[in-house]
Amino acid sequence: MRRGAVLLAAAMALSGCIPGSERPDLSLETPASYRNAPKGIAADASVPAIDWWRGFRSRELTTLMEGAQLYNLDIAAAIAQIVQADAQVGVSGAALFPTITGTAGAEREHFGALSSSSGNASTITQYSAGLTASYMVDFWGKNRATLAAAEESATVARYNREVVRLTTMVTVANTYFQILAAQDQLKVTRNNLAAAERILALIKTQFAGGTASQLDLSQQEALVATQRAAIPPLEVTVGQNIAAMALLVARAPANFTVRGGSTTQIAVPRVTPGLPSELLYERPDIREAEAQLASSNFSVEAGRAAFFPQIQLTGTTGFQSAALASLFAPGAWYYTLAAGLTQPLFDGFLLEGQLKLAKGVQLQNLQAYRKAVLSAFADVEKALIALQKYTLQERLQADVVTSSRKAFEVAETQLRGGTVNLITVLQTQQTLFTAENTLVQVRLSKLLAASSLFQALGGGWTPTGTLAALQ
């Protein structure tokens, strides 16, 4: 019963959000809570702040975020789309107003022989000045529906700007985290290379003394070469991600650098997901899909109204005289009024096809809206479970690294004393190297899960006041 009540309330709320008389069925399943929400936090806890990236406590990341908001070219293009959408509103709204045209003319006509001396010739000069006005009576609401569709499209452009901004912010964060992780891996690999070279030096000494075999020496040399060969790909990752970051902040890569650091210096803020029903208002992509659906609803209304008669009113007034001096005399004034009605009878099924097209677009936008809502719930659930499990894995993997490092230190000490098998030393080295690299990857995955959760929750974005600032 409670699930049925939630479904009914969600359907009523959703249907009330979509304007237009051509409203499709918006029945959707809305969960009462997130399955993987953190325990001990109220379900209606506040959502993240709009400057959520400050919670990672990285001054450089904050600087990059602020630079991206100011200079990112994708955001600038989205703002330009708002300008276009607003202009289209003006174009669509022009049909609701009368069209007034000013005219002025001078006409000279000559009749009869070519020679002006002929008695049968005559010349007439006519001067005129006037106004012509026409107006299409929007009796069936076609023009109003077209204007409303354009206005909703302008709203779509504004929500799209917020979607682009949020995507850009998350991309900046993820790119920065990838730079830090690659730098961590470089540090780990160089430390492992130094450790492997120490062991190699010991084995060479034992080989010279006859206590180590050529196989032992070759195996350690291969391990050293493997660690050395792992460095260039990591340097490529760092360099390419810095170049990608330069593009995000609209800088030339040659003049841009990222200091970076370590993933261990990044704090992961605690995120409160709130209620699933709130997500319908906190995700700009959902609001964008909602506005797109509303626009298509009005387009269907306009397509349906096109089947009805069109009433055109036309009026002309002005002055007409054969003498320019008496053009504006009272006797030169004239006016005409006309009313016309046009009813489509047969147009090769053009209007019917346009209505079907509008309904098809409406159905497509309806499914896109439903998918946006359900995808939002899925995004939050996936991000929550990823953040929880990667946090747990990080703690467990840190224990693995601690134990592996201790085993390697013991094996190295015993190797110096000649009391350990070289195969054991080789195994402890490889175990430590793998464990340290895995820990870096787990930390990166946890940071990416945190940024994904912020994105899934709308990045702290709320429609209150945000769109008004973009008007």
**pLDDT tens for each residue of 113-165:** 655 555 567 778 888 888 999 999 988 899 999 999 999 999 999 999 999 99
Position 398 scores a pLDDT of 96
Confidence of residue 460 (pLDDT cuts 50, 70, 90): confident
**For the chain, what is the mean pLDDT?**
87
SS3 call for 102? strand
Average pLDDT over residues 390-417: 93
Percent of all residues in the chain with a pLDDT value above 70, rounded to a whole number: 89
Of 38-47, 92-101, 325-334, 449-458, the one with minimum mean pLDDT is 38-47
SS3 call for 378? helix
Q: Are 312 and 337 in contact (CB under 8 A)?
A: no
From the list 81, 100, 241, 107, the residue with the least C-alpha distance to 172 is 241
Position 331 scores a pLDDT of 73
> CA 73: distance to chain centroid?
13
Query: How many Cβ atoms from other residues are within 10 Å of residue 27's Cβ?
Result: 12
Q: Is the pLDDT of residue 25 over 90?
A: no
Q: Is the pLDDT of residue 51 over 80?
A: yes
Position 189 scores a pLDDT of 95
b/e map of 352-373 (b: 16 or more CB within 10 Å)?
Answer: eebbeebbebbeebbeebbebb
Q: Is the pLDDT of residue 469 over 50?
A: no
Position 105 scores a pLDDT of 87
> What is the rounded distance in angstroms from the CA atom of residue 63 to the CA atom of residue 68?
9
Edge-first strand order for the sheet with 333-342 is: 99-111, 122-137, 310-321, 333-342
Position 175 scores a pLDDT of 97
**pLDDT tens for each residue of 300-325:** 999 999 999 999 999 998 888 777 77
**pLDDT tens for each residue of 344-385:** 888 889 999 999 999 999 999 999 999 999 999 999 999 999
Q: Is the pLDDT of residue 277 over 90?
A: no
Confidence of residue 327 (pLDDT cuts 50, 70, 90): confident
Domain residue spans in the chain? 38-71+138-308+350-470
> What is the rounded distance in angstroms from the CA atom of residue 121 to the CA atom of residue 113?
6
Position 115 scores a pLDDT of 58
Q: Is the dihedral angle over the CA atoms 371, 374, 377, 380 positive or is it negative? A: negative
Confidence of residue 43 (pLDDT cuts 50, 70, 90): low
Fold assignment, 38-71+138-308+350-470? Outer membrane efflux proteins (OEP) (1.20.1600)
Q: Is the pLDDT of residue 15 over 50?
A: no
Average pLDDT over residues 422-446: 93
Q: How far apart are the first and last CA of the chain?
A: 43
Can you spell out the DSSP letters for 27-56?
-----SS-TTPPTTS-TTPPPPPTTGGGGG
